[in-house]
Amino acid sequence: MTDSIVGAVGIYGGTFVVCFIAGLVPLVNAEIFLVLVSTMLVTSSAPLPAIVVLAAAGQMVAKVVLYVGARRLIASATGARREKIERAQARIEKWKDRPLWVLFASSTLGLPPFYVVSLLAGALKIRLRAFLAIGMTGRVLRFAVIVAIPWL
């Protein structure tokens, strides 16, 4: 699958597309793709920064889809489900800034899974700008390490 995507849209477009898909489908692994790209498809380290940024951007576009979906689902809840959500939000409100640290750890380390944290960020109404800035920073750091390891 990744060969045909990279063949159709090139290494940069392919990186964005594969990482977007990986952001939505947990069975598709962006990290394995990036290791393959950095070891087999590039002959110098020059394109690696662009590949890292495109991989992070593809992931973050996918994560925004999850974030917005969770936010809309929560907003449309009614009745007993709505009451449960409001009680959970009140408990979590005590944390204030802690979800931002969890978001950074998740986007950088992958623990807890960034897929789940993206859904929770939308459900908890974390500001979209904060979600994007922290998530993109974490993904760039994570992917930079992943593509740099084979070159060290």
SS3 per residue for the chain: CHHHHHHHHHHHHHHHHHHHHHHHCCCCCHHHHHHHHHHHHCCCCCCHHHHHHHHHHHHHHHHHHHHHHHHHHHHCCCHHHHHHHHHHHHHHHCCCCHHHHHHHHHHHHCCCCHHHHHHHHHHCCCCHHHHHHHHHHHHHHHHHHHHHHHHC
State which of 19-33, 64-78, 90-104 shows the largest mean pLDDT. 19-33
* 8, pLDDT greater than 60: yes
Q: Provide φ and ψ at 45, rounded to 5°.
A: -85, -5
Which residues, 6 or more positions from 1, have their beta carbon under 8 angstroms from its beta carbon? none
The interaxial angle of helices 114-123 and 98-109, nearest 10 deg, is 150
The per-residue pLDDT for 108 is 97
* Residues across the chain: 152
pLDDT at residue 120, rounded to an integer: 87
Judge whether 22 and 28 are in contact, CB under 8 Å. yes
Q: What is the pLDDT of residues 100-146, one digit of tens each?
A: 888 999 999 999 999 999 998 998 888 999 999 999 999 999 999 99
Query: Is 90 exceeded by the pLDDT of residue 43?
Result: no
Q: Confidence band (pLDDT; 50, 70, 90) for 59?
A: very high
pLDDT at 97: 60
**Residue 79: predicted pLDDT:** 84
Indicate whether 95 pLDDT > 80: no
Q: For residues 82-95, give the mean pLDDT.
A: 74
